[in-house]
Amino acid sequence: MFPTTETAADALSIRSLSKTFAGLTVLNDVSLTIAPGEVHALLGQNGSGKSTLIKCLAGVHRPDPGSSIQVNGRQLPQTFPPSESSRFGLAFVHQDLGLIGDMTVAENLAIGTGFERSGPLINWRSQKARAIEILDSFGLLISPNAFVRDLPVTARTLLAIARAFQPRREANATPLSVLILDEPTAALPDNDAELLFEAIARVTAAGVGVGYVTHRLEEVFRIANRASILRDGVLTGTFLVSEMTRRSLFTAIVGERAATELNTTDTNEKVQRKIGDAPQPVVLRAVELTGVRVRDASLTVKLGEILGIAGLAGSGRSELARLLFGSQKLTSGSRSINDIAIAPASPKAAMRAGIALVPEDRRRDGCILDMSIAENITLAKIRTTSIGFLNLSAEKTQVKQAISALDIRPRDPSRQLGTLSGGNQQKVVLAKWLARNPKLLILDEPVQGVDVGAKADIFALLREAAASGAAILVIDSDFDNLANLCDRVAILRNGQIVSELEGQRLTTENMSQATFGVDDETDLVSVDQFEEKP
Ligand SMILES: Nc1ncnc2c1ncn2[C@@H]1O[C@H](COP(=O)(O)OP(=O)(O)OP(=O)(O)O)[C@@H](O)[C@H]1O
Ligand SMILES: [Mg+2]
């Protein structure tokens, strides 16, 4: 149905695309096509060149000479401003979303497709009416006048998606031929991802070709017709998804040898964790935490333990993390580390007590993009050290260790963080907090945007951190991740912790049942039931 050879009717045809940054080849002679109506997945490990390829299509990067890109049979110029890409029938959702924080929602929607006009003037009223209509189609209830910098990450993602899908209004507008989405679901809850998949089905039915980057293999099987794999900037193959299994796709992405290694470490790890059953002291004790959505949440995390928080979007997971860390005000409740109470609503006090939070929104709160890898990793330490002198050589060693433990690429401590691939930026944020040896490490969506291979590395590292004396609390929308990583999982529903799962009962199915509120009373231990006992 979707030929692997090029035809004249391709929506997108890339031939011999190469891209070199200061002598370093990031894309090497890549050729690939997207047929009209096709969803073509672009897969590869962190740093393999997916986003760079997309930025070459979008006019953000200038491809090396000799490269050729055609949209609907029309050659793209060597250079053009990114704002012009819609004139060639292209639309994008970039990995960093490409929104402008200091502009409103309506203004951001107008970038690229133009403003509603009455003669020479912008017609703000119809501009806003149009914005509301587009936002509504993605279930987004936000004001067109809101500033984008004030929106939570899910809303920003949906806004960037809505912008890419919005109909072209101008009379002479080029119809959409190719839509490219770079990890659009990395920060999206499942129900919003469903809206996206429906929208994709609508545009492909109308003949649009879709390029889709993801690290979630289940999405590939769900929506993609073909998949192309990039490894170190080289396209290693294009496959019909219907002829692939999860295993063969995984192997194609990480390579034969790595796939075997990852398989064995994963099983070893599981066995190891079942052994250490000795009773451990409680590190975190949170008592009846109440915020805006979260009510009376009580939980403990023991030394060496990894506690997961499972919940649907809006159940209060990130708020719970902020209440624990003190970056959001507690209405009531208390928390202590090793039985020493922490002053309420102060991240400083929390950090002094040994709590670290890796936030969900790494671009806003997690890192500084124009500083180096080394500066970002040591940042959190420098800020909190009370001694005037910094031990630079010890820091250098630590940075080197972090780079190798998390396989951060490139392995150059002086590289500016903003030039790293998205997944590698996420690893730097993790390294920064692990370097502080926190007593309690809170992680909000820690493997967001991290590839299938690196995910296993990060989980191994977290298990190691727990085993060597930390308590860990993890929020992850992917229940498989929680089942894989955690010793125990607390279920958060409508701001309340309703039950806990551990041992045999800690399964993905039980988590989805419990978060949706269809838990079988005989199977799940209810915390409420516990507390009613005298
Ligand atoms: N502006 C730049 N200057 C120098 N190197 C860059 C620049 N942009 C990207 N690179 C390098 O190009 C390589 C590919 O990065 P890219 O962002 O395309 O990866 P990716 O496949 O999208 O990864 P991820 O899954 O983590 O998003 C990386 O090694 C990155 O460091
Ligand atoms: Mg990328």
Q: What is the CATH number of the domain that holds 347?
A: 3.40.50.300
Specify which of 85-99, 249-263, 517-531 reaches the highest per-range mean pLDDT. 85-99
Omega into 410 within 30° of 0, i.e. cis? yes
C-beta of 233 in contact with ligand 1 (< 6 A): no
User: Dihedral (C-alpha) 500, 504, 506, 512: value to the nearest 10 degrees?
Assistant: -100
Q: Which atom of ligand 1 is nearest to the CA of 55?
A: 18
Note the ligand closest to the C-alpha atom of 47.
Answer: 1
36-50, 188-202, 264-278: least confidently modelled range: 264-278
Confidence (pLDDT) at 402: 87
What sign has the CA pseudo-torsion 274, 455, 486, 431?
Answer: positive
- Rounded Cα distance, 446 and 458, in Å: 9
C-beta of 44 in contact with ligand 1 (< 6 A): yes
Q: Do 287 and 431 share a domain, yes or no?
A: no
Would 443 be classed as within a structural domain? yes
Q: Which atom of ligand 1 is nearest to the CA of 421?
A: 17
Phi, psi of 118 (to 5 degrees): -120, 105
Sorting pLDDT into bands at 50, 70 and 90, what band is 124?
Answer: confident
Would 360 be classed as within a structural domain? no
Q: Do 45 and 111 share a domain, yes or no?
A: yes
Q: Which atom of ligand 1 is nearest to the CA of 52?
A: 18
Confidence (pLDDT) at 391: 61
- Rounded Cα distance, 248 and 202, in Å: 29
C-beta of 302 in contact with ligand 1 (< 6 A): no
The answer to whether residue 176 scores a pLDDT higher than 50 is: yes
Q: Which atom of ligand 1 is nearest to the CA of 233?
A: 14
3-state secondary structure of 123: coil
Q: What is the 3-state secondary structure (H, E, C) of 25-75?
A: EEEEEEEEEECCCCEEEEECCCCCCHHHHHHHHCCCCCCCCCCEEEECCEE
Are the C-beta atoms of 94 and 182 separated by less than 8 Å?
yes
Say how many Å lie between the first and final Cα of the chain, rounded.
Answer: 66
Sorting pLDDT into bands at 50, 70 and 90, what band is 223?
Answer: very high
C-beta of 423 in contact with ligand 1 (< 6 A): yes
Q: Do 205 and 307 share a domain, yes or no?
A: no
Residues 6+ apart with CB under 8 A from 113: 86, 163, 166, 168, 169, 170, 173
Cα of 157 to ligand 2 centre, how many Å?
A: 15
Give the mean pLDDT of 273-279: 54
Sorting pLDDT into bands at 50, 70 and 90, what band is 529?
Answer: very low
Q: Do 345 and 282 share a domain, yes or no?
A: yes
- Rounded Cα distance, 515 and 519, in Å: 8
How many domains is the chain partitioned into structurally? 3
Share of the chain above pLDDT 70, in %: 88
Q: Do 337 and 393 share a domain, yes or no?
A: no
The answer to whether residue 152 scores a pLDDT higher than 90 is: no
Would 370 be classed as within a structural domain? yes
Would 3 be classed as within a structural domain? no
CA distances from 388 to 56, 360, 384, 391, 395 (A): 46, 31, 11, 10, 15
The answer to whether residue 433 scores a pLDDT higher than 90 is: no
The answer to whether residue 265 scores a pLDDT higher than 60 is: no
* Domain carrying residue 203: 12-254
Q: Do 201 and 79 share a domain, yes or no?
A: yes
Would 6 be classed as within a structural domain? no
Amino acid at 401: Q
Confidence (pLDDT) at 524: 40
Confidence (pLDDT) at 288: 96
**Candidate from 24, 42, 52 with most ligand 1 atoms within 8 A of CB, to mutate:** 52
- Rounded Cα distance, 492 and 338, in Å: 24
Confidence (pLDDT) at 363: 74
Give the mean pLDDT of 186-196: 87
Q: Which of 197, 225, 254 is the last residue of a domain?
A: 254
Q: Do 52 and 147 share a domain, yes or no?
A: yes
Confidence (pLDDT) at 158: 93
Note the ligand closest to the C-alpha atom of 451.
Answer: 1
Give the mean pLDDT of 77-102: 93
Would 84 be classed as within a structural domain? yes
Would 5 be classed as within a structural domain? no
The answer to whether residue 498 scores a pLDDT higher than 60 is: yes
**Burial of residue 471 (number of CB atoms within 10 Å: 0-12, 13-18, 19+):** buried
Give the containing element (helix H, strand E) for 324. Answer: helix 317-325
Q: Do 167 and 104 share a domain, yes or no?
A: yes
Q: Which of 254, 271, 306 is the last residue of a domain?
A: 254
Give the containing element (helix H, strand E) for 146. Answer: none
Confidence (pLDDT) at 278: 62
Cα of 399 to ligand 1 centre, how many Å?
A: 20
Would 184 be classed as within a structural domain? yes
The β-bridge relationship of strands 332-337 and 117-118 is unpaired
Q: Do 74 and 161 share a domain, yes or no?
A: yes
Confidence (pLDDT) at 216: 92
- The string of pLDDT tens digits covering residues 360-392 is 887 777 788 899 999 998 875 544 444 445 566
Measuring from atom 12 of ligand 1, which residue has the nearest CA?
26
185-199, 381-395, 468-482: least confidently modelled range: 381-395
Q: Do 387 and 454 share a domain, yes or no?
A: no
Confidence (pLDDT) at 30: 98
C-beta of 113 in contact with ligand 1 (< 6 A): no
Q: Do 393 and 450 share a domain, yes or no?
A: no
Q: Do 389 and 459 share a domain, yes or no?
A: no
Q: Which of 190, 221, 254 is the last residue of a domain?
A: 254
Higher pLDDT, 323 or 112: 323
